[in-house]
């Protein structure tokens, strides 16, 4: 992956609208062009229940995006990335997302899912289709549309697909 520009400074991580959450999420990929994704809990009181999405989460007040991302990955899957780089910012009416990307540096079996229903490696065919099978759910579940777009943008830019 080419080197990417650094993320904005922490003073720039505050959303212009106080009600708009600021999050940091990770595109974690392997050499087979698969993405590590989380199947969100299927609870009706959360955003996007039962949908595949990228790992990450809300930033603490004043927390730099990269620091927040590392904290979230440790909390969610006991993973500390060795090489993660800023990819892009995606903002909409739901959230301002700082997106980072890095290669998965461990075997999937070394990760422990602490948040979510399931997790796994999702291939490009599933990303394009917008859904993937979950062993734990025992069914095909959809990918979050915003996260699908982020993955497609990444694959186009870095893998030419």
Residue 39: closest CA among 126, 100, 156, 107: 126
Q: What is the CATH number of domain 21-159?
A: 3.90.79.10
Q: Phi and psi at residue 70, in whole multiples of 5°?
A: -60, -40
Question: Positive or negative CA dihedral for 67, 134, 29, 47?
Answer: negative
Chain centroid, CA 74 distance in Å: 13
Name the least confident of 13-17, 22-26, 85-89, 130-134: 13-17
Tell me the per-residue pLDDT of 43-96, one tens digit each, with 9 for 90 and over: 888 888 999 999 999 999 999 999 999 999 999 999 999 999 999 999 999 999
Residue 69: closest CA among 46, 102, 93, 107: 102
Q: How is the chain split into domains, by residue range?
A: 21-159
């Amino acid at each position: 992956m080419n080197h990417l520009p650094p993320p904005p400074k922490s003073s720039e991580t505050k959303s212009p609208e106080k009600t708009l959450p600021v999050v940091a999420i990770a595109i974690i990929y392997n050499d087979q062009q698969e993405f590590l994704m989380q199947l969100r809990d299927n609870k009706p009181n959360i955003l996007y229940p039962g949908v595949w999405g990228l790992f990450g989460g809300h930033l603490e007040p004043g927390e730099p995006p990269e620091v927040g991302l590392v904290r979230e990955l440790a909390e969610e899957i006991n993973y500390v990335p060795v090489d993660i780089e800023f990819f892009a910012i995606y903002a909409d009416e739901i959230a301002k997302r700082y997106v980072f990307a890095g290669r998965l540096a461990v075997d999937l079996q070394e990760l422990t899912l602490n948040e979510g229903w399931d997790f796994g490696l999702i291939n490009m065919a599933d990303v394009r289709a917008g859904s993937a099978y979950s062993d734990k759910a025992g069914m095909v579940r959809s990918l979050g549309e915003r996260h699908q777009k982020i993955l497609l943008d990444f694959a186009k830019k870095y893998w030419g697909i």
